[in-house]
Amino acid sequence: MRRLTGVAVLCLAAGLAVLCAAAPVATPPAGAPPESLQKWRDMRFGMFIHWGPVSLKGTEIGWSRGNQVPIEEYDNLYKQFNPTKFDADEWVKTAKEAGMKYMVITTKHHDGFCIFNTKQTDYNIMNSPFHRDPVKELSEACRKQGVAFGTYYSVCDWHHPDFPRGSPGGKTRKPNPNLDRYEQYLRSQVRELIQNYGPLLTLWFDVPQEFDAARGQRVVDFVRSLQPDILINNRTGVPGDFDTPEQRIGKFQIDRPWETCMTICRQWAWKPDDALKSLKQCLDVLINCAGGDGNLLLNVGPMPTGEIEPRQVARLKEIGQWLAKYGETIYGTRGGPWQPGPWGAATCKGNTVYVHILQWPGDKIALPALARKIVSSAVLTGGKAEVKQAGEAIEISVAPADRQELDTIVVLTLDGPAAESALDRTGGAPK
C-alpha cells in the first residue's frame, strides 16, 4: 500500500448522487463478467491483511526497507520469522465474526518477499523457520468457512534485480534491470496464485511504477486467460474493474465500482501500540462506503506470532455484532437515493430506503423530495420517527431519547422502486 495515514471523515454532500438500484455496471469489453462484479458489490465488506517478516520490527511493510530498517537487515528478517501461532481457521473465523464476506492477503509486497510457496524465487516463506504456506492454508480455510478469497500482489518489487527501482521507497535505480524479464517473473507468480490457490475472487495489484498501460494490459489479459471471471483492480497501469481509494472514503458513483481500502489502526503492517479506530469510526466508514455505493476492505496487520492482535479482534467482533442486527441495510444494497452528507448516508434496495443518521445537525434532517410516495416509516434501531413529505423536502425527526450514538436507522418504504425516486440527490441540511 501507499504510505498513508489518518482517520477517514464522513463524505460531504456535493454534486449528483447516483441511482441505488442494482443497475448494470459499465465495464470494459474484456472486463470481469457483470454478474461477478455484482456478487462482489453485494458483499460490501472484506478483510485486508498485510503481513510478513517485517512484523518482527513493527515497521511498515515495504516502505521501511532502507528507511527505519537497513536493507540488509530487512532482507534477512525472514530467517527469524517463525509465526508458530498462525491459525488460518481462526483468521477466517475472525473475519466471519466481523461480518466480512471476503478476504485479501498480501502474497508479495513491494519488498519482494513471498509468503506463498513460489517456485520462482527462494525469497519466500518456505525457506523461513516457519516452512509452511499460509496462503494455501488460508485459501482452504476460506473455502471451508464460506468466505471468498483473493490475493494482493505488488507489481513493483524493490528487491528483485530485474525491477528498475529499489528501496527506500522505490526512489533508487538498480544497475542492470530488465523489465521484460521481470514481467515474465510476475506472470509466472500470478499463474501460481491462480492455479495453486484459486479460483480467486480478485487479484489486487499495487503500485505499478514503471508498468505502463501496454504492459499493464498484457498482465490483465494474461490473468483473464487463466481465470475469466476474476476481478482486477486499477493498479496495474490500466483501469481494471474497480477503483481503490486508499485511507479515504470513495466518491459517490455507480457508473464504476469502487472499494475503499483502510487500516483498522494507522499502519498497514503490525505496529505495537498503534492507534486503533473506535467502533464509531469503523462503522461511519462502512456506512458511508455503502451509502456511496462502494465496498470497504478493512485492513488488519497480524503480529509476528501469527496472531491477529486481540484488541483488533475485539473491535472486529463489535462491528460484526452491529452487522448481525443491521446487516440488511448494508449487504446487497445500493447507495442512495441521496448522496452522503454530514448527517450520514442512505442505502436502498427495492422499495426500501435505509437512512443512516450518524449525527444530528439539528432537531431534524431535511432531505430533497422524492418522486415516489413514502407509504410507511419505522426506526430500525428502536423508537419512532416523524417523517413529513412535502413538495420540496422530506423532514425526519427522532426523539432525542431514541437517537443512537452509533447510528439511528430510519426505514422508509416507498410506493415504487427507490431507484426511480430521486429528484435532487443532495441532502442533509439542518433544520
Per-residue cell: 7: 482517520
Q: Which amino acid is at 397?
A: S
Q: Which amino acid is at 349?
A: K
Q: How far apart are the first and last CA of the chain?
A: 41
Q: Which amino acid is at 194?
A: I
**Cα Rg of the chain, angstroms:** 22
Where are the alpha helices (H) located in 198-264, listed in sequence order? Answer: 213-226
Cα(94)–Cα(166) distance, integer angstroms: 36
Cα(303)–Cα(272) distance, integer angstroms: 9
Return the H-helix or E-strand segment holding 411: strand 408-414
With beta carbons less than 8 A apart as the criterion, state whether 169 and 67 touch.
yes
* pLDDT profile of the chain (431 residues), mean per 10: 40 33 43 96 98 98 98 98 98 98 98 98 98 98 98 98 98 97 98 98 98 97 97 97 98 94 98 98 98 98 98 98 98 95 96 97 92 96 95 93 97 90 60 36
- Per-residue pLDDT tens digits for 338-394: 999 999 999 999 999 999 999 999 999 999 999 999 999 999 999 999 999 987 899
pTM, entire model? 0.92
With beta carbons less than 8 A apart as the criterion, state whether 115 and 137 touch.
no
Cα(95)–Cα(106) distance, integer angstroms: 16
Residues 6+ apart with CB under 8 A from 121: 112, 114, 160, 185
What is the assigned CATH class of domain 34-329?
A: alpha beta
- Per-residue pLDDT tens digits for 55-100: 999 999 999 999 999 999 999 999 999 999 999 999 999 999 999 9
Q: In the CATH scheme, what is the homologous superfamily, with its name and number, of domain 336-430?
A: Golgi alpha-mannosidase II (2.60.40.1180)
With beta carbons less than 8 A apart as the criterion, state whether 99 and 327 touch.
yes
Q: Domain residue spans in the chain?
A: 34-329, 336-430
Return the H-helix or E-strand segment holding 93: helix 88-97
Tell me, yes or no, if the two domains 34-329 and 336-430 fold the same way.
no
Residue environment code for 202-220, b if the CB has 16+ CB neighbours within 10 A, otherwise e: bbbbbbbbebeeebbbbbb
pLDDT value of residue 1: 58
